[in-house]
Amino acid sequence: MVSPPTSRPLGPPSGPSRIDYARLLNEEQLRAVEADAGPVLVIAGAGSGKTRTLTFRAARRLEQGLSPDNLLLLTFTNKAAREMTRRMAELVGGFVDVGRLTGGTFHHVAHALLREHATALGYSERFTVLDRQDARDLMVSCLAERKLKSDKRFPRPELVLELVSLATNLQQAVSEVLVDRRPQFVPLAPEVLATAALYRQRKTRLHLMDFDDLLLNLKRLLVEQPRVRALLAERFHAVLVDEYQDTNSLQGELVDLLAGERRDLTVVGDDCQSIYSFRGADFSNIMGFPERHPGCAVFTLTRNYRSTPEVLQLANAAIVQNTRQFPKTLVSERASGPRPLVVPTLDAAEQATWVAERIQTLQAQGQPLESMAVLYRAHNHGLELQLELTRRGLPFRVRSGVRFFEQPHVKDVLAHLRWVNNPRDELAFRRVVRAVPGVGPTTAERLWTSLRALPEGLSLGERLVHEDVRRHVAKKSLAAFERLTGLMGRLGRPEATRDPGGLIEDVLSGGYAARLALEATPEDSREDDLRRLAELARRFEDLPRFLSELALVAEFAAKEALQGDAPGDVLTLSSVHQAKGLEWRSVFVLWLVDGRFPMSQATRSAEEEEEERRLFYVATTRARDLLALVYPLSVLPREGERIVLRPSRFLDELPTGEGGPYDRLVLPSTAAVRGVLPPPLGWNEPGPEGSEVED
């Protein structure tokens, strides 16, 4: 897409070079390190040594006589900043005082500069930085000051904070973000916008800044204060940025402003790993860099030190379908290994069983669990696998958040089912009833005492409508309590308990789905989590058996929690987003069906579909040796009929036949749905003795 111009090497170091660049770097890295003094864009493919290239380029600039005081290094995480500092100390610590370098995360650097210059914006030099809880407390105070009527529809303080944060980082008005991200609150826009404005006013008046203000106010310094801009331009002669593909609009503009007229700017990133638009990352920052910086040199790193040639063949074949990219083909520096597997399974249960069995086989062959990972597009895609791993006693950690069954919205819905199953379950009762507006700890205690005092033999619904119970409910809460009474009466019917999946659907339709929708974002998956939980529950013949299975999971999690954070041989379960930057010997990717990966809501436009394909590319390039792409052919029976799923379009796009980048593993059970398989992936007969691998 963009042809790299011929670079003009920088002059030699000011004295004899202390670093043997030619020995320590490959040819591609060396060209980028020795490029002219910017602007330079380094497109670094997965596993190609981007951080190494950036630190060596910084070291070379120092060897050429640039003072460490004049170098600025920007990263995204504290961990990355520490790693960058460590590598710089190893390279130049013998002849440069690394402590004089300015470097760290965007927020860390902005904070340091604002401590020096915030008075130019009218802030005290002793301004306070708000952490997340402080910011929430201030927003609560603003809501109280607005004297809003008690209304469950109004967004929680955290949601108003999220709107303000996104508006700052996207450099948009709060009203625009409200329409785009939280359209359900548009009818309340005047109050939401007034509260957001008050929050900003209070911060300024009290000399407070939240994390987003650090970046915004640094930009204000550079744009509004020519004297400060000149001071910083004189201070920072060279700017180097890591993970540039993850920058948002505000960060991208800050980078350009800090580089100033010198334009000695080096950014390193991989356009094919730009996957965080939901957090505000702006893909156009990296794609538009050559246009914003005419004459820039573009270098591409394609030599991959992580994955086998077979894994990279599949990754290259997947990402080539994207039209908006800097084209590149990764080349492995590793020896050949096994071909990736594509594994269709009958349903989600067999998917979990096959993955768990394969993990145990690898473990028996000497591969530690620590060297394996299971990746998925959304957190709820690990549901069946968490159950299966628990049954087998295989320890696992969840990088994509808390374990599925420990999430608040899952526990909310399960509390309804636990209370139906055991009306004496006080903890379940309290979790359910406290969700009724106006019911606090005191009312909940009175309700529980009155319920226990009722005679035996009454159903749960009959107990809740009893006058001795209802009299403890305040008038303002009565309507909501009656809705709960009706719901629990329906859930408690004997025939209903034989369909635990139906019970979950009833809780959703009984008001819980509407409650979630009030707080939902376009990326919110909580209702989908619960639909998936209902799908799982249909595998159980009644409610007691379903809850017993979940109790096993809870017991297993509790035992692991007692062990604390002690290191051990533990399998990793993770969303692909959380797995970026990590690698494992063996990687299993689940739920590769259209609607799940890619997500259905993420294919509304070509841009969104390309980001989903980049996400698939990131998943495949996490594997060093073994890659298995797994998907169910159907979902569990509903009313006696299986629903057939379509394999992910990302699998459809891969070449097939002799030159294809994978082997297909055919399981005997999948023959049951052979006649209704979608055609693109083809199908061959399974062998008589069981599974077989096909080229």
Quote the number of domains for the chain.
4
User: Annotated binding residue at 50?
Assistant: yes
Identity (one letter) of the amino acid at 36?
A: D
pLDDT band at 674 (very low <50, low <70, confident <90, very high): low
| One domain, residues 236 and 169 | no
User: Annotated binding residue at 400?
Assistant: no
User: Annotated binding residue at 45?
Assistant: yes
Q: How far is C-alpha 81 from the geometric centre of its chain's CA atoms?
A: 21
Kindly state whether residue 331 falls inside one of the protein's structural domains: yes
**CA R_g for the chain:** 29
Alpha-carbon distance 584 to 306, whole Å? Answer: 9
pLDDT at position 31:
95
Kindly state whether residue 692 falls inside one of the protein's structural domains: no
pLDDT band at 401 (very low <50, low <70, confident <90, very high): low
> What's the domain range around 385?
315-395+568-672
Phi-psi domain of 102 (left: phi exceeds 0; alpha: psi -120 through 50; beta: other): beta
CATH number, residue 97: 3.40.50.300
Kindly report the pTM of this predicted structure.
0.84
Kindly state whether residue 521 falls inside one of the protein's structural domains: yes
| One domain, residues 115 and 134 | no
Alpha-carbon distance 105 to 77, whole Å? Answer: 6
Which secondary-structure segment (H or E) carries 619? helix 606-620
| One domain, residues 484 and 369 | no
pLDDT band at 398 (very low <50, low <70, confident <90, very high): confident
CA 277 to each of CA 10, 280, 442: distance values in angstroms, whole numbers, following the listed order: 36, 5, 44
Kindly state whether residue 629 falls inside one of the protein's structural domains: yes
Alpha-carbon distance 62 to 70, whole Å? Answer: 9
User: Annotated binding residue at 48?
Assistant: yes
- Who contacts 69 (Cβ-Cβ below 8 Å, separation ≥6)? 100, 102, 235
* Phi, psi dihedral angles at 378 (to 5 degrees): -130, 150
User: Annotated binding residue at 580?
Assistant: no
Nearest to 164 by CA among 174, 154, 149: 174
* Distance separating the N- and C-terminal Cα atoms of the chain: 33
pLDDT at position 692:
44
pLDDT at position 7:
38
Please classify residue 331 by burial: count the beta carbons closer than 10 Å to its beta carbon, then call 0-12 exposed, 13-18 middle and 19+ buried.
middle
| One domain, residues 386 and 414 | no
pLDDT for 145-188, tens place per residue? 877 654 456 788 888 999 999 999 999 999 999 998 888 888 88
Tell me: pLDDT of 11 over 60.
no
Alpha-carbon distance 179 to 192, whole Å? Answer: 12
Of the ranges 89-98, 190-199, 237-246, which one carries the lowest mean pLDDT score?
89-98
Give the three-class secondary structure for 522: coil
Kindly state whether residue 411 falls inside one of the protein's structural domains: yes
Q: In the beta sheet, which residues pair with residue 327?
A: none
Please classify residue 415 by burial: count the beta carbons closer than 10 Å to its beta carbon, then call 0-12 exposed, 13-18 middle and 19+ buried.
buried
pLDDT at position 116:
92
pLDDT band at 240 (very low <50, low <70, confident <90, very high): very high
Read off the tokens for 81.
């900043």
Mean per-residue pLDDT, 102-119: 92
| One domain, residues 419 and 517 | yes
- Who contacts 281 (Cβ-Cβ below 8 Å, separation ≥6)? 245, 246, 247, 248, 274, 275
Query: pLDDT higher for 480 or 55?
Result: 55
pLDDT band at 303 (very low <50, low <70, confident <90, very high): very high
pLDDT at position 612:
96
| One domain, residues 249 and 112 | yes
Which of 257, 276, 301 is the endpoint of a domain?
301
Kindly state whether residue 558 falls inside one of the protein's structural domains: no
Q: What percent of the chain is modeled with pLDDT above 70?
A: 89
What b-and-e string marks burial along 114-130, b requiring 16 or more CB atoms within 10 Å of the CB?
Answer: beebbeebebeeebebb
| One domain, residues 542 and 573 | no
β-bridge pairing 641-644 and 634-638: antiparallel
Which of 278, 301, 324 is the endpoint of a domain?
301
Could you write out the DSSP letters of every residue in 133-191? HHHHHHHHHHHHHTT----TTSPPHHHHHHHHHHHHHHT--HHHHHHHH-GGGGGGHHH
CB 410 within 8 Å of CB 576 = no
Kindly state whether residue 622 falls inside one of the protein's structural domains: yes
User: Annotated binding residue at 247?
Assistant: no
Other residues' Cβ atoms within 10 Å of the Cβ of residue 214: 21
pLDDT for 599-656, tens place per residue? 988 778 899 999 999 999 999 999 999 999 999 998 865 555 678 899 999 999 999 8
3-class secondary structure per residue, 59-119: HHHHHCCCCHHHEEEEECCHHHHHHHHHHHHHHHCCCCCHHHCEEEEHHHHHHHHHHHHHH
pLDDT at position 98:
81
| One domain, residues 517 and 635 | no
pLDDT at position 685:
33
Alpha-carbon distance 167 to 162, whole Å? Answer: 8
- Who contacts 15 (Cβ-Cβ below 8 Å, separation ≥6)? 63
CATH number, residue 527: 1.10.486.10
Which of 138, 172, 206 is the endpoint of a domain?
206
User: Annotated binding residue at 49?
Assistant: yes
User: Annotated binding residue at 453?
Assistant: no
Kindly state whether residue 47 falls inside one of the protein's structural domains: yes
Strands (E), 512-638: 571-575, 584-589, 623-632, 634-638
Other residues' Cβ atoms within 10 Å of the Cβ of residue 553: 18
Could you write out the DSSP letters of every residue in 221-240? HHHH-HHHHHHHHHH-SEEE
